[in-house]
Amino acid sequence: MNKLRVASALILGVLTLFFSGAAAADRGHWHGHSHVGVGVVVDPFWFDPWPYRPYYYPPYYYPPPVVTVPAEPPVYIERDASPAPQSSAYWYYCSRPAGYYPYVKRCPGGWQPVAPQPPPPPLDDDEEQ
């Protein structure tokens, strides 16, 4: 019980010294008088209410948005069908069997050169009758 009283008195004394600075504050009525005094301050130098600054979490890192670009469709270039090169300026006709080269492969009577002729234009529906 005696230890409890000593501890309570010690805590009360420390708290009184701690809060005595606010009690000695003047209310602003200074009239030119000065007082000189000597005081004893008991302040534990290791006590600091804020030993460290408060910790704040770092701001959240937002990654840049993902940008997707659709692939361009493939481009197909259609080339004009190049005409087959003609081997010569003549067609070759065979009388037996009747036909032109290359439809007739062999001609026992000999080939006859013939000047090529373009096919006739197609007939319209009105010209058929």
Tens-place pLDDT, residues 60-92: 889 999 999 999 999 988 887 766 655 567 888
pTM of the model: 0.26
pLDDT of res. 72: 93
- When mean pLDDT is compared over 20-24, 29-33, 46-50, 98-102, the highest value belongs to 98-102
Segment 106-122 mean pLDDT: 84
pLDDT of res. 66: 94
Is the preceding omega at residue 97 within 30 degrees of 0, hence cis? yes
Higher pLDDT, 14 or 66: 66
Give the model confidence (pLDDT) of 35-64 as tens digits: 677 777 666 665 556 566 667 788 888 999
pLDDT of res. 117: 78
Helix (H), strand (E) at residue 9: helix 2-23
pLDDT of res. 67: 93
